[in-house]
Structure 1
């Protein structure tokens, strides 16, 4: 990175925090139906929403101490069949222990030492329906707060030399990326490092774009400030390409008829909402639970969102966030006796002690099978029997935004499989065949959480590890 660009980035990072605080100010006081309205911290409805979010946060946390809101940074509400609150707060650890206190209150004092308080900044979205006396937590996104010391990193003025058009465009893109994905960095050095990585990733995305044979758009994603190694370590699954670890599975019985021209299990009620594995290599668990959700729906007519955290905690055959194999996961579920629901055994994104209860089993399996490696046979079986657990090389996925991805084999070695997903269907767009792939990186990835891959040439190894649970 040249010196002018290096000097510019710090000013942009400072401007970023100001722009985030300023965003939404134009709507204050407006009474547009359905539009977000900024709220004062004294708003009684806001206070109720904050207390509810605080309570749900503590229920989902596995910490010993109660945490509570120390400061409301910003808040707005939107009238949508009730009131939808969007609240950004600071949350700190108190001296009260969960086992000793029934209700959160101001009597629960924060730790005096900042290093023990471990403040977080959280975004909560709460939907309140007053006439039903019902509140729902729609979103919770938290990250460590940036300390006051690290906020002092920007003390550099712009160079007297005029920055180039290219450097300003890059900084604008980086600033937009930071705003959209709520990024903060702990120091001047870290901000400069992430900008360099961001710049290199833009170039990689441009190469992918220029050589792609499909209709995909590649560019800035929420992974654009990560190196390839960081992305692989945080989100992918290194065990999938270690073929010596693969267990032999019973072959599936072929479908009774040829595949229809297109199929999508989302249209038939067998697919739950897109989930987010977070910075944990647990894609194998999401792939398997997605498959079992579909199989259970086929058997019972009920779609139940099942627990990935149970597998992360209780599957002794796999390595939790360090990766795993679908074949192992099926065996672990059989041994455990089934899966609990997402509600009963909620996801935390890190390994903890196993808290599985046979009394809460919501779905079980009897065995598992391996599918053919022929894509036409996979499609026929999927259309007849339900969504399929699969795996692929995810290199091109880091920068995928939308469209049908058709990367060159040099970017997508079929023998270097490193990510487990769920095939929910297939079809064509403007004559181009594709697989519909449910991913586990949240709805802000790809097309509402889905990745579309060219179908018919065994691309990225998508055909090599297809499997399913069996529910009798």
Structure 2
């Protein structure tokens, strides 16, 4: 009897806590009420039964996925867990069937990767060229977020300045260029860059705030692409993984994938989704890779997935990940850019940096710069903790006057004088 009890106890302890929700209607209802509060969801009373049923199906799906694939990737509940399939489609926005191909054919194509070597790992996060994940909300504007992610990285690489660019400007202004797309009804990153090229401009997200609905293309903010302008884009249609990796080493890549129920419920780990039908419907941005995975930034906020990111398994089709890859090209304008910069994401795919909770910061970090993008622009912000040496936060700088740091020559100077 004791042995049987012990086995039952071990089984219970090893059980996914979500499974308990399926054993008690009251527990499920209580969990869903908490879910609503956490996600700011308010529905009419008449919808409660429908939403609860969808939530239960999501719990069942997550449990089945984790049982099948938990050793590779983990699924979880998120803001989509009480949405219907039709409602989830509102968070997409890349229509491959309407893309006739002239955008790709009209652009310069990158040479084949045949004969070229690709590094084992590469990351634009380490170079400070990736802004934090954004949220497209209930609007088929993924194409705009994918386009800004690639353009933000291109401008950072060329000018040294990272700026969060305005997806709202694309929503408001790209339609006149291409009647097949209309803001929240979907679009393509190719025509977004065509807009930048034709109008020689792009505003910042802080100056034209995202509203998740298209507006008028008027009263545009100041152009933020000051020292470099867009000349077009490089496309790599229907290529293989090696070509995609090579492209990522050139710039953050705009890519299109097919979103499945498996993808929607992704939480962490390395995704190897074999449920897709190979119909691209969502635009995202590939920001790096390792021997195990390709790292992609999504546009569903940080509450989805691995804090807004997803890892696609290497040596796998990635649900069309390699089919519509592209990035913008820039040229210098010979104009100065004195604008302030925006902070890059602090997401670490390997969690190398330890605790990031401001209320529980953990032990004192080492006296060094932990990011390659460290510079004076980040000092005095919440990001200077990653640039302790540059920003004079090291204990051995305490002997220097305030506002100065100890330079490599041992003398106290302002940061820019070292």
Tell me the distance in 2 between the aligned counterparts of 1:282 and 1:227. 19
Tell me the distance in 1 between the aligned counterparts of 2:88 and 2:147. 22
Where does residue 134 of structure 2 map in the other structure?
Answer: 275
Alignment of 1:53-72 (within 5 A): none
Where does residue 165 of structure 1 map in the other structure?
Answer: 23
Q: Deviation string for 1:326-362 (max 9, x for gaps)?
A: 2222212212222111122221111111135485343
Normalized against structure 2, the TM-score is what?
Answer: 0.67
How far residue 245 of structure 1 moved from its aligned partner, in angstroms, is 6.0
Equivalences, count: 300
Where does residue 370 of structure 1 map in the other structure?
Answer: 235
Please point out which of 288, 301, 304 is paired with 2:160: 301
Task: Please tell me whether residue 327 in structure 1 is matched to residue 184 in structure 2.
Answer: no
Please point out which of 29, 33, 38 is paired with 1:175: 33
Tell me the distance in 2 between the aligned counterparts of 1:164 and 1:243. 43
How far residue 205 of structure 1 moved from its aligned partner, in angstroms, is 3.0
**Which structure is higher in RCO with an 8 Å CA cutoff and minimum separation 6?**
2
Structure 2 residue matching 1:366: 3-state secondary structure: strand
Where does residue 343 of structure 1 map in the other structure?
Answer: 206
Where does residue 296 of structure 2 map in the other structure?
Answer: 437
How far residue 164 of structure 1 moved from its aligned partner, in angstroms, is 8.5
Structure 1 residue matching 2:126: 3-state secondary structure: helix
Tell me the distance in 2 between the aligned counterparts of 1:467 and 1:425. 14
Q: Deviation string for 1:124-151 (max 9, x for gaps)?
A: xxxxxxxxxxxxxxxxxxxxxxxxxxxx
Tell me if structure 1 keeps the 8 A contact 2:75–2:268: yes
How far residue 198 of structure 1 moved from its aligned partner, in angstroms, is 1.0
Where does residue 110 of structure 2 map in the other structure?
Answer: 252
Tell me the distance in 1 between the aligned counterparts of 2:86 and 2:64. 18
Tell me if structure 1 keeps the 8 A contact 2:65–2:74: no
Q: For the structure 1 residues 164 and 390, does the alpha-carbon distance in structure 2 shift closer, same or farther, using more than 3 Å as the test?
A: closer
Task: Please tell me whether residue 231 in structure 1 is matched to residue 96 in structure 2.
Answer: no
How far residue 471 of structure 1 moved from its aligned partner, in angstroms, is 0.8
Tell me the distance in 2 between the aligned counterparts of 1:263 and 1:207. 33
Q: For the structure 1 residues 251 and 272, does the alpha-carbon distance in structure 2 shift closer, same or farther, using more than 3 Å as the test?
A: same
Structure 1 residue matching 2:273: 3-state secondary structure: coil
Alignment of 1:50-449 (within 5 A): 165-187=23-45, 189-212=46-69, 215-232=72-89, 234-237=90-93, 239-244=95-100, 247=103, 248=105, 249-254=107-112, 257-316=116-175, 317=178, 318-355=181-218, 357=220, 359-362=222-225, 364-371=229-236, 373-383=239-249, 385-395=250-260, 396-408=262-274, 411-414=275-278, 416-428=279-291, 433-449=292-308
Tell me if structure 1 keeps the 8 A contact 2:94–2:143: no
Q: For the structure 1 residues 230 and 458, does the alpha-carbon distance in structure 2 shift closer, same or farther, using more than 3 Å as the test?
A: same
Normalized against structure 1, the TM-score is what?
Answer: 0.60
User: Which range is displaced more, 369-378 or 455-464?
Assistant: 369-378
Structure 2 residue matching 1:244: 3-state secondary structure: coil
Task: Specify which structure has the higher proportion of strand.
Answer: 1
How far residue 400 of structure 1 moved from its aligned partner, in angstroms, is 1.1
Tell me the distance in 2 between the aligned counterparts of 1:380 and 1:195. 46
Tell me if structure 2 keeps the 8 A contact 1:369–1:467: yes
Q: Deviation string for 1:388-446 (max 9, x for gaps)?
A: 000101112211111111122xx2122x1111000000114xxxx11111111111111
Task: Please tell me whether residue 459 in structure 1 is matched to residue 325 in structure 2.
Answer: no
Tell me if structure 1 keeps the 8 A contact 2:129–2:156: yes
Structure 2 residue matching 1:201: 3-state secondary structure: helix
Tell me if structure 1 keeps the 8 A contact 2:94–2:256: no
Structure 2 residue matching 1:320: 3-state secondary structure: coil
